[in-house]
Amino acid sequence: QSALTQPASVSGSPGQSITISCTGASSDVGSYNVVSWYQQHPGKAPKLMIYEVSKRPSGVSNRFSGSKSGNTASLTISGLQAEDEADYHCSSYAGSSTLVFGGGTKLTVL
Amino acid sequence: QVQLVQSGAEVKRPGASVKVSCKASGYSFTSYSMHWVRQAPGHGLEWMGIINPRGGTTSYAQKIQGRVTMTRDTSTSTVYMELSSLRSEDTAVYYCARDHPSGNYYMDVWGKGTTVTVSS
């Protein structure tokens, strides 16, 4: 159960788009369409932003979108806003009733 | 409203055990599995395991298998996570999080977290 690989940090200016990658293996991301993304502001609990690769929960802005190709999933945030500055974590089902997270990515809005 | 209320912060000595509780309200307790996730200071999220409150079945992360036990009390809609043989590396915020009813291992409701500090 190795952690998924995410960039430590990404940045963008207001209004721009950014993409955060989440690379796993054929045993997790590559095998299951069960990738989720969570947003976490400092000192707060994570919040579900994307589930099942590309679905958005009710109430999440359509500026957030997800995709997957092979062993890599991606989260794209368009029209960056100051309140998007946070840590983002991906997760994937890894078989045998287990889950694995990525190391997290800090998004800075310049 | 749907809520997960966790127990308060704990300070433990190395080698001791800690038991964290998570009381659910606002939904049918036995219809949703519950995950436990921890986050060490300055680190990412780490999945610890999942419990199905209906039958009590569990699945744990390999890394902590043998040291973790997840249980539930359906009469009080509470799940528990006990971690034994604590080490300094277990210092973290521990979260309970409800699994989506689809059973697809994503967490739609989170508790506020319980800080566990392991220090001599």
Tokens encoding B111: 């508790």
The pLDDT of residue A1 is above 90: no
- Reference A39, options A8, A25, A60; nearest CA is A60
Tell me the pLDDT tens digit for each residue of A16-30: 999 999 999 999 999
Three-state SS across chain A? CCCEECCCEEEECCCCCEEEEEECCCCCCCCCCCEEEEEECCCCCCEEEEECCCECCCCCCCCEEEEEECCEEEEEECCCCHHHCEEEEEEEECCCCCEEEECCEEEEEC
If DSSP codes are grouped into helix, strand and coil, which group holds residue B70?
A: strand
Helices and strands in chain B: count of H runs, count of E runs = 0, 11
How far CA A76 is from CA of A22, B16, B72, B84, B106, in Å, comes to: 11, 43, 38, 40, 19
Where b means 16+ CB within 10 Å and e means fewer, A25-53 reads eebbbbebebbbbbbbeeeebbbbbbbbb
**Predicted local distance difference test score (pLDDT) of residue A108:** 97
Per DSSP (E only), the strands in B34-75 are: 34-39, 45-51, 58-60, 68-73
Sole residue written with tokens 């690379």: A23
Q: How far apart are CA B38 and CA B116, in angstroms?
A: 10
Q: Give the whole-angstrom CA distance, residue A67 versus residue A74.
A: 5
Residue A44's closest chain B neighbor by CA? B112
pLDDT class of B14 with cuts at 50, 70, 90: very high
Residue B103 has what pLDDT?
A: 80
pLDDT digit string, tens, across residues A76-97: 999 999 999 999 999 999 999 9
| More confident position, A2 or B57 | B57
- Strand order across the A72-77 sheet: A18-23, A72-77, A64-69
pLDDT (tens digit per residue) in B58-116: 999 999 999 999 999 999 999 999 999 999 999 999 999 999 878 889 999 999 999 99
Across the interface, whether the CB atoms of B59 and A103 are under 8 A apart is answered no
Q: Which residues pair with B110 in a beta bridge?
A: B97
Nearest CB among A3, A45, A100 relative to B110 is that of A45
Question: Least CB-CB distance to A89: which of B45, B62, B111?
Answer: B45
| Contact status of B47 with chain A (Cβ, < 8 Å) | yes
Q: What percent of chain B has pLDDT over 90?
A: 96
pLDDT at A2: 83
Interface residues of A toward B, Cβ cutoff 8 Å, are: 1, 3, 6, 34, 36, 38, 40, 45-48, 51-52, 57, 87, 89, 91, 93, 96-104
Convert the pLDDT of each residue in A36-58 to its tens digit. 999 999 999 999 999 999 999 99
Q: Which residues of A touch B112 (CB under 8 A)?
A: 45
What pLDDT score does B111 carry?
A: 98
For the ranges A1-5, A31-35, B44-48, the lowest mean pLDDT is seen at A1-5
Residues in chain B closer than 8 A to A96 (CB atoms): 59
- Kindly state the average pLDDT of the residues B2-6: 97
* Confidence at residue B4, expressed as pLDDT on a 0 to 100 scale: 98
Per-residue pLDDT, B89: 96
Best residue of A49, A75, A88, A99 to probe chain B, by most B CBs closer than 10 Å = A99
Closest in A1, A45, A91 to B61, CB measured: A1
- Residue length of chain B: 120
Contact B82, B17 (CB under 8 A): yes
